[in-house]
Chains A and B, each alone.
Chain A
């Protein structure tokens, strides 16, 4: 309260309007009271729409909701992939000191995440749509929340030092791709938790991809196909040729490991370790990475001995998108 008054005093409002500090104080109090009454409604935005106590024009309502559900990138990066539990809530003061965001703000953002999570967790239908419907958020914000919910549910590790260079936007992008392709909802839109949980069967099937690296012939064939196609097009061709087996092994092994929950959590760590870092140490330009990944996934189709083309596409299609997004400094 006093902070807010001080803030407003600093903004020079008193000089502008010639008001006294007491007036400002009481005015600020009024706002707090009103917001306090509004906050209850903001917890369930559809109520805000129907309530009769405040007559707020739709545009202002939307603004209120949008602002209330807005979050700080720095904060969300800290809690992304963590369980939205009491334990995490206790750590909020650490996050607050670390990010410089006030504890109250952290609490609000955390509570918002948790509230959204609770509501849509067990719901059927598209995750983004559900969030939009129940919280009346804008498309963009709803997508962000979908990513947060998805990460929280799958508990992806994002806090490792290696991953610090990644922004929330990077993760949100990956989350969206994964929701689109790897969840239950991607195959069947009528199941519960469709967008929140990964498709277990699909993860199980991913083991089949192991043949790509386990079978020496296939691996060689794959490598030669990629190399032939990319010869002369890649600035880092020699490095690629030298590293191909390692990279391929890395990518396929990540896939094969996804059956275990623990490894699912480490997905991003693995991807960075097994693919992003080696490429980066060889100074691959982004374009070369793109060319490589395109060719790498496409040439599998020409491998006659490989029977899991669809599975490969579902896996690699998403992974390619993610890797390209993750590949930066």
Chain B
């Protein structure tokens, strides 16, 4: 009986009127966990009942605690008929199971009904008493922390990064069970919500078990997805990266990630030893100061020694008999007992010449441990290869060999992380991806999800081999996704092939020394660009040049990755969002024929998406893509591809070549003219973009001539001249440095279209930047004003003879318009940057395209010089903006109800669609937005909007209230009064952001993962304001529920928030619609920097104190 769950129902408020006669409600509450149910008394005739119940106690297994959600149902008591349900609250009690997270869940939760939405709120207190169970055969995995964040969470330090964990569970979808024919939609929705909640609990528990098996204590980059396979069932799958994390005890140790993340990382190990266990040997502190002066070889030795002391002193893992785990788990028995010898052997090794044979000289008892340290050693030398120049080659090979052997121990050397501690990433190969088309069949036995498992294993294997072909032994920034239509399913996986520093896979405590050395020896931020593969044996054709930064290693001409920009990378100018959009028609087909058709189309789509990306990248004058995410969606009669990435100009990579247009029929004069016209336009665009994104690479070419290593430079020129195009452009002409001209042939109208679409991409209005990575490369001075938003847009295509081009154009317009309207809405935040822009496309039905965008807008300070460390000015500025900052999360959603779907005015409809058709003859363009159903409803607000006109003009939705304050009464006074209570008022402010950090603030505590699934259904779509009104309200409600849960945990923000699924289905004829939304994120507590000053100004004694009791301050 390892756990006791205690629940208290305190009160309700704003309940709906359930009894028409009295306009009141007789409410009571059912509390259910597992199979046990308790009830409160009925609180008669009140919309604000005060139950103040006793503590309901559930005695349960911790396995159940992990799996089951707590289910609270509010009902209206009815003497004569059945009690009416008002709504439900599901509470995931998982956060209470970590030792250091929340201790109590207490607060107001919105009461949610799948038909009516939020109906009042209920105040609940939940506690868990957990008894420790050390049974090694246990099925539960309490205590394993989960993070959605795809980097090492801010107040933790990675000791070991173990690697990939995955799991999937399957079940029958209640929506498709026979019983669904007789039960109410509400019952079926609730069954589904409950099942998914249960399944994700189970999944999390199982993954937790795997992590414990790997000796980790946390999962980072946890990504859980639902596949609604319809008839064939429901799959919940998750991937993540198992880690051993150490909590950093003092929050004061952090600097805001947004300002100087690298510094942040550096300082952690320096200022205090958060974990006396790992660092108790202590030599690290003096060592670090010295490393600067050490010669490389010496620093190796120091390093090895310090690392092995760490190893020997890491007692937290119990003896582990399996010797094969030695690479991964340093505390194997042989190691811990032989630490002294080990140290000696290490030193011995490093003093002698660099030969791996030495390991054989050591006594056989230590064979294993020696080879281990050997590898460490070699890794270190591999890292130093930058300074070693060409001689680095053999080292590199060795390094590869060694780390490979380490990683090959694992089935899949994948990491879901996208941002890493400095020094973790050695080289990046490029994007690897794999897709496969599968036919779904009914899952016969839910307990044996083998088929699905096998599918994924296949794909992962493919990814692994791709990575190997790139000379990489690991894949980072790994993610998986599916797209399902009827019984065909596309499974996709993608990641970035990379060479990692094996040190981190074993023991992260060395990171400080290592990193120091790295920064000393390697020219900052170009190491990861260097090719990991063999130059002579390239996996694909690429133009290699010498790195423009260090001039020693080869780099490719462009680099595509799925990860975030490494913090130490040198970037010139700013980045921008680059999207490739593509539609392909396909014939409607059944089952296997369909699957074949899709798999035949896939390679072409991939190719085209890639070409588009490449072209757009060149057009922007950039040479690298980060955060690349290619999504291919399958629909009834089309396939859609959407690739988003952030383009940047990496200083280490060569100048991007321009785009050249070549016509196939050069004899035609007018045609020639046309081509040259186009060429000019393209060149202009490139020049303009370069200016826009401030890409002015330093003119190294001339300066460096006198530098000591001109030789490689010459070579690179040689290499370039070979591919140089005929027209002679001087080296200095940077506006259009034609190195490797990218030639576009326009031989048919198709290609013409492509070129046109290239040019139609409108840059965002001035003051706006956008990217899909965590932060915008090239902008560092964020202010703390953030605004997260979600926008859903549904568009219906008219079905008549669609062509690929028309479709492409529609889709392109849709995305562009979506972005445009976002820019418009956020205009008050200028200058700002849309970060983490996440597009999701789905094709819920025939001719229906749904695009969901989630992003966060962060303002930045234009005047502040880049890289400034907190000046006083900035501090005061930040404080000012904090005051009037808000997170008014208007879900900026809108949907265009298309005309054909609209049952009302058929005549007008034809008229309009006809007119739109005549406008653009060939294209059956998507019909425009129609609001008629909404008009009368809104009319009463017209006058209000007039009243508001002032507000609206100023900034529609957001902030900058400062000036406005003056107008109504003595607002200043009001604010003074309201500011303090707002902190402890019933509605605490909870921020939401898809980023892993909060600008201008420090995350002091992670409270647990938020993973929620909601279904909303309506049978009165028109009355609720049509599709737009329905979705708008639903998204707002989802936000409200997420915030309420976070607030109840004691948190004040959700980071790494993501809307993983938004499935919308409508049946306009029946006036019905249904929507499923799945969101997740990490609940955190953050402190504003301005507030933190007070705390941190206290002498560092506080830090010492808190670090003494084992780094556990959270109790």
Indicate if the CB atoms of A50 and B888 lie closer than 8 Å.
no
Between B886, B1041, B1044, the greatest number of chain A beta carbons within 10 A of the residue's beta carbon is seen for B886
C-alpha gap A11/B951 in the complex (Å): 13
Indicate if the CB atoms of A52 and B1040 lie closer than 8 Å.
yes
Indicate if the CB atoms of B14 and A22 lie closer than 8 Å.
no
Contacts of A28 in B (CB 8 A): 945
Chain A residues bordering chain B, tally (CB within 8 A): 55
Taking the nearest CB of chain B, how far is it from the CB of A303, in angstroms?
A: 46
Indicate if the CB atoms of A1 and B939 lie closer than 8 Å.
yes
B968 in complex: contacting residue of A52, A55, A138, CB < 8 Å: A138
B333-377 interface code vs A (CB 8 A; 1 in, 0 out):
000000000000000000000000000000000000000000000
Indicate if the CB atoms of A104 and B1044 lie closer than 8 Å.
no
C-alpha gap A68/B947 in the complex (Å): 8
Flag whether A165 is at the interface (Cβ < 8 A). no
Indicate if the CB atoms of B1025 and A59 lie closer than 8 Å.
no
Contacts of A108 in B (CB 8 A): 940, 943-944
B952-969 interface code vs A (CB 8 A; 1 in, 0 out):
110011000100110011
Flag whether A33 is at the interface (Cβ < 8 A). yes
Between A23, A49, A101, the greatest number of chain B beta carbons within 10 A of the residue's beta carbon is seen for A23
C-alpha gap A18/B985 in the complex (Å): 41
Interface-side segment among A34-42, A150-158, A283-291: A34-42
Flag whether A7 is at the interface (Cβ < 8 A). yes
Which residues in window 10-53 of A have CB below 8 A to B? 11, 13, 17-20, 22-37, 39, 47, 49-53
C-alpha gap A52/B987 in the complex (Å): 7
Indicate if the CB atoms of A17 and B824 lie closer than 8 Å.
yes
Contacts of A19 in B (CB 8 A): 820-821, 823-824
Contacts of B894 in A (CB 8 A): 26, 29-30, 33
Flag whether B535 is at the interface (Cβ < 8 A). no
Contacts of B943 in A (CB 8 A): 101-102, 104-105, 108
Taking the nearest CB of chain A, how far is it from the CB of B769, in angstroms?
A: 16
C-alpha gap A42/B668 in the complex (Å): 70
Indicate if the CB atoms of A47 and B938 lie closer than 8 Å.
no
Indicate if the CB atoms of B1032 and A37 lie closer than 8 Å.
yes
Flag whether B817 is at the interface (Cβ < 8 A). yes
Indicate if the CB atoms of B1043 and A55 lie closer than 8 Å.
yes
Indicate if the CB atoms of B820 and A35 lie closer than 8 Å.
no
C-alpha gap A93/B975 in the complex (Å): 39
Indicate if the CB atoms of A1 and B942 lie closer than 8 Å.
yes
Flag whether A210 is at the interface (Cβ < 8 A). no
Residue of A nearest to B1025 (CB): A33
Indicate if the CB atoms of B940 and A57 lie closer than 8 Å.
no
Flag whether B1088 is at the interface (Cβ < 8 A). no
Flag whether A119 is at the interface (Cβ < 8 A). no
Which residues in window 126-185 of A have CB below 8 A to B? 138, 140
Asked whether A1 and B931 contact (CB < 8 A) given A23-B824, A52-B1043, A59-B965, the answer is: yes
Indicate if the CB atoms of A62 and B978 lie closer than 8 Å.
yes
Contacts of B821 in A (CB 8 A): 19, 23, 26-27
Taking the nearest CB of chain B, how far is it from the CB of A34, in angstroms?
A: 5
Indicate if the CB atoms of A55 and B889 lie closer than 8 Å.
yes
Flag whether A87 is at the interface (Cβ < 8 A). no
Residue of B nearest to A35 (CB): B941
Indicate if the CB atoms of A35 and B944 lie closer than 8 Å.
yes
Indicate if the CB atoms of A53 and B1036 lie closer than 8 Å.
yes
Contacts of B1002 in A (CB 8 A): none
Task: Give the secondary structure class of A's interface.
Answer: helix
Contacts of A51 in B (CB 8 A): 14, 987, 1040
Contact count A vs B, C-beta below 8 Å: 197
Asked whether A57 and B884 contact (CB < 8 A) given A11-B953, A28-B945, A36-B937, the answer is: yes
C-alpha gap A104/B941 in the complex (Å): 7
Indicate if the CB atoms of A50 and B118 lie closer than 8 Å.
no
Indicate if the CB atoms of A29 and B1028 lie closer than 8 Å.
yes
Indicate if the CB atoms of B1032 and A30 lie closer than 8 Å.
yes
Flag whether A86 is at the interface (Cβ < 8 A). no
Indicate if the CB atoms of A36 and B941 lie closer than 8 Å.
yes
Flag whether B569 is at the interface (Cβ < 8 A). no
C-alpha gap A105/B946 in the complex (Å): 9
C-alpha gap A56/B978 in the complex (Å): 13
Flag whether B411 is at the interface (Cβ < 8 A). no
Taking the nearest CB of chain A, how far is it from the CB of B931, in angstroms?
A: 6
Flag whether B887 is at the interface (Cβ < 8 A). yes
Contacts of B887 in A (CB 8 A): 55
C-alpha gap A105/B985 in the complex (Å): 33
Contacts of A24 in B (CB 8 A): 824
Which residues in window 202-260 of A have CB below 8 A to B? none
Indicate if the CB atoms of A1 and B935 lie closer than 8 Å.
yes
C-alpha gap A24/B824 in the complex (Å): 8
C-alpha gap A174/B765 in the complex (Å): 55
Flag whether B715 is at the interface (Cβ < 8 A). no
C-alpha gap A322/B419 in the complex (Å): 74
Indicate if the CB atoms of A54 and B968 lie closer than 8 Å.
no
B765 in complex: contacting residue of A17, A49, A56, CB < 8 Å: A17
Indicate if the CB atoms of A50 and B1032 lie closer than 8 Å.
no
Contacts of B890 in A (CB 8 A): 30, 34, 54
Contacts of A55 in B (CB 8 A): 886-889, 987, 989-990, 1039, 1043
Taking the nearest CB of chain B, how far is it from the CB of A115, in angstroms?
A: 14
Flag whether B934 is at the interface (Cβ < 8 A). yes
Indicate if the CB atoms of A58 and B978 lie closer than 8 Å.
yes
Indicate if the CB atoms of B986 and A140 lie closer than 8 Å.
no
Indicate if the CB atoms of A47 and B940 lie closer than 8 Å.
no
Flag whether B607 is at the interface (Cβ < 8 A). no
Taking the nearest CB of chain B, how far is it from the CB of A251, in angstroms?
A: 37
B817 in complex: contacting residue of A13, A22, A33, CB < 8 Å: A22
C-alpha gap A23/B982 in the complex (Å): 35
What are 15 A-B contacts with C-beta separation under 8 Å?
A7-B946, A24-B824, A25-B931, A33-B1028, A33-B1032, A35-B945, A53-B118, A53-B1036, A55-B987, A58-B975, A62-B978, A63-B961, A68-B944, A70-B947, A102-B946
Give me the 10 closest cross-chain CB pairs, A-B, nearest first: A105-B943, A58-B978, A32-B938, A52-B1040, A57-B886, A104-B943, A53-B1040, A19-B824, A23-B821, A4-B945
Interface residues of B (CB under 8 A from A): 13-14, 108, 110, 118, 121, 765, 817, 820-821, 823-825, 827, 884-890, 892-894, 896, 928-929, 931, 934-935, 937-949, 951-953, 956-957, 961, 964-965, 968-969, 971, 974-975, 978-979, 981-982, 985-987, 989-990, 1025, 1028-1029, 1032-1033, 1036-1037, 1039-1041, 1043-1044
Interface residues of A (CB under 8 A from B): 1, 3-4, 7-8, 11, 13, 17-20, 22-37, 39, 47, 49-60, 62-63, 66-68, 70, 101-102, 104-105, 107-108, 138, 140
